[in-house]
Amino acid sequence: MFRQIVDTLVPKVEEREARALAFVVLEDAFGLSRTDIYLGKDTVFSEEDTIRLEKILRRLEQGEPVQYAIGTAQFCDLTFRVTPDTLIPRPETEELVGWVASLLPSDAPCSVLDVGTGTGCIAISLAKQFPRAQVMAWDISEGALAVAQQNAQANGVVVDFCRTDVLEVVNESAASAPSRDALYIVSNPPYICERERAEMETHVLDYEPASALFVPDTDPLLFYRALARLGQQLKAAAVLVEINQAYGQETVEMFQSNGYSNVELRRDIYGKDRMIKAVR
């Protein structure tokens, strides 16, 4: 079956990519172990599974990302449902979750607010690691919030989801701090400039929600200014964000100009400026 999938995909993609896709399909969609796949163990597919596999392969042949084709993505050792309403969780964002986790107290109450939650991968991963934390998550997309709620239930955690536009909240006086002592704001907001579309892969442009990706060329730090102000309004202990590598220093300086005295820029596993922690 592994070789059949690879041979089906090779005309569309390189052998290496086809093999990677085949592993993901057989592991995540059909629950086969990587060891069994490597050993080439025979697996008898039911008629239903065979039909499902054929549908997945057709979607992959059309260039659809494998996570959408199979309907799930792996993140922080958890499984998340993904749909065209949500971005596909990326490994780089796992590093942001790890940074937040290193700051959260394990023996005291705290709150986490995930702004622009999408699949809920950040909020849910933190709620899983810190069951005593009060975890909240905002998004402007009803579709994304529905998916995130399903993911929270599937992963056995409680997250308070709310349809909220951070750009509107920071211009109102209604924002108030949660009841617990220490609040940490975390976000992977839209940060790709419109002019960067030409450098992006087709499967991202054609399938992932543009509203979760792009900001105007004239205002690349749009959401970071809002998050900096939100952190002030809610008296957050820290604001941690994923960023556009092209604007690392500019984002640091923006937080500093908004009253954050301790601002740290970190690179990801690929050596790119990828995340910032800002403390007032």
- Is 28 annotated in a binding site? The answer is no
Q: For the packed helices 222-233 and 248-257, what is the interaxial angle rounded to 10 degrees?
A: 30
Secondary-structure breakdown of the chain: helix, strand, coil percentages, each rounded to the nearest 5? 45, 20, 35
- Is 156 annotated in a binding site? The answer is no
- Is 116 annotated in a binding site? The answer is yes
* CA contacts within 13 A on the Cβ side of 193: 11
- Is 86 annotated in a binding site? The answer is no
- Is 71 annotated in a binding site? The answer is no
CA–CA separation, 210 and 237 (whole Å): 31
Task: Check if the beta carbon of residue 247 is closer than 8 Å to that of residue 254.
Answer: no
- Is 191 annotated in a binding site? The answer is yes
- Is 117 annotated in a binding site? The answer is yes
CA–CA separation, 49 and 164 (whole Å): 39
- Is 247 annotated in a binding site? The answer is no
- Is 119 annotated in a binding site? The answer is yes
Task: Check if the beta carbon of residue 239 is closer than 8 Å to that of residue 278.
Answer: yes
- Is 139 annotated in a binding site? The answer is yes
End-to-end Cα separation, the chain, in angstroms: 55
Binding-site annotation, residues for S-adenosyl-L-methionine: 116-120, 139, 188
Binding-site annotation, residues: 116-120, 139, 188-191
Binding-site annotation, residues for substrate: 188-191
